[in-house]
Amino acid sequence: MLAMNYRGPRRVRIDEKPEPEILHPQDAVVKVTRACICGSDLHLYNGSVPDTRVGSTFGHEVTGIVEEVGPEVQNLKAGDQVLVPFNIACGKCAFCRQGLYGNCHESNPGATAVGGIYGYSHTAGGYDGGQAEYVRVPYADVGPMIIPEWMDHDDAVMLTDVTPTGYQAAEMGGIQRGDTVVIFGAGPIGTMAARCAWLFGAGRVIVIDHIEYRLDFVREYGPAEVYSYNEMDDVVLFLKKTTDWLGADVCIDAVGAEATGRPMQTLLGKKLHLVGGSATALGWAINSVKKGGIVSVVGVYGPIDALVPIGNIVNKGLTLRGNQAAVKRLLPRLVEHVKNGIIEPKKLITHRIPLEDVSEAYKMFSGKMDNCMKPLLIPPSGMTH
């Protein structure tokens, strides 16, 4: 089959790889019809996530057609059209029973934090992802959801990660009616977080970034007030001034390890990889939120230390929350929001690219070319769906 093949930092190509097989009675094999490139895939692409091994196939945002199921799979059959959440979750461990599907203890037993994730390095279990013609899906009775007949499959693929992650970012913020919410990052996740902040009662939504076309997009889609940090002398001072010197009620870090804006963080965390990422956005969030406020973190950082102003968290009495989105827990509500037109996930997709051109797709998305917000890869098998 055709599959994306990681060859080292900023080097990916399309290759022939063996088709996946049923390895466990609860497995399924899915023929991929859509696979997005995620902003967090760029952390892998740029070499920011440890133990990303040459030969890996990325891709954790997938829809497809069930090709084959293991003998213990009861909820799926060949021919079902499914969306596959990025979490690989057993559904039975102590954490899955709490709804923490992003922290499954069985799918990534060598780790003490994150559960299994498709195509996201060996720190997340070493599973091959779905930027390919086929993908193996473990625990097939737990994760995949049959796509409703009424749902556009472009909306469906955006329910595998982007929409749940943006929604959970807002949810973890504990937004109260009338709150001012500041979101760092105008990529797909930050944009969806802006949209979802209103659902929790926000009175004001502000998005900070430096890429003008992304700010233009979230201004309309959120909608949100938008500001470029390149036009500010001091981001924290600006945000304090615009919130009556109290600070925002809620700040959301939707950037993660490759934030720019502070030279020392960029050098140590993004260029030299001496710490677990450039925590510029996280530092701004901690320093911009009000005393007693909440900081919600969905940006990806490496599993080693980062330069974070922990003293300010303590002295300001902040609540800091973060996690990988529990897609399975959120899907029922988000499906209803899509059905009722409250959220329109597919509007974030700006580019549809053949899987064969995956190398060019990564270059374009990483380089912020052609006003690319969200690229969707289409394998040959997906051209008719």
Burial class (CB in 10 A: 0-12, 13-18, 19+), 190: buried
Six-digit token string for 12: 């990916």
The CATH number of 165-322 is: 3.40.50.720
Buried b (16+ CB within 10 A) or exposed e, 22-49: beeebbbbbbbbbbbbbbbbbbbbbebb
Q: What percent of the chain has pLDDT over 70?
A: 93
pLDDT tens readout for residues 199-241: 999 999 999 999 999 999 999 999 999 999 999 999 999 999 9
**Cβ atoms of residues 2 and 130 within 8 Å:** no
Answer yes or no: is pLDDT of 303 > 80: no
Answer yes or no: is pLDDT of 263 > 80: no
What is the pLDDT confidence band of residue 244, given thresholds at 50, 70 and 90?
very high
pLDDT value at position 280? 86
pLDDT tens readout for residues 311-332: 899 999 999 999 999 999 999 9
**CATH 3.30.465.10: does it fit domain 2-161+326-382?**
no
Of residues 379, 383, 385, the one with CA closest to residue 129: 379
Task: Please provide residue 97's backbone torsions phi and psi, each rounded to the nearest 5 degrees.
Answer: -65, -20
pLDDT value at position 47? 86
Residue 28 DSSP SS3: strand
What is the pLDDT confidence band of residue 12, given thresholds at 50, 70 and 90?
very high
pLDDT value at position 299? 87
Residues of the chain with CATH 3.40.50.720: 165-322
What is the pLDDT confidence band of residue 335, given thresholds at 50, 70 and 90?
very high
> Region 68-80: what's the mean pLDDT?
97
pLDDT tens readout for residues 25-51: 999 999 999 999 999 999 899 888 888
**DSSP symbols for 113-172:** S--EETTS-GGGT----SSBSEEEESSTTTS-EEPPTTS-HHHHHTTTTHHHHHHHHHHH
CB atoms within 10 A of CB 5: 21
Six-digit token string for 233: 């002398």
> Region 185-210: what's the mean pLDDT?
97
pLDDT value at position 258? 67
Q: Average pLDDT, whole number, for the chain? A: 93
Residues of the chain with CATH 3.90.180.10: 2-161+326-382
User: Which value, to the nearest 10 degrees, does the dihedral of the CA atoms of residues 243, 298, 254, 374 take?
Assistant: -150
Answer yes or no: is pLDDT of 17 > 80: yes
Q: Which of 37-41, 262-266, 301-305 has the highest mean pLDDT?
A: 37-41
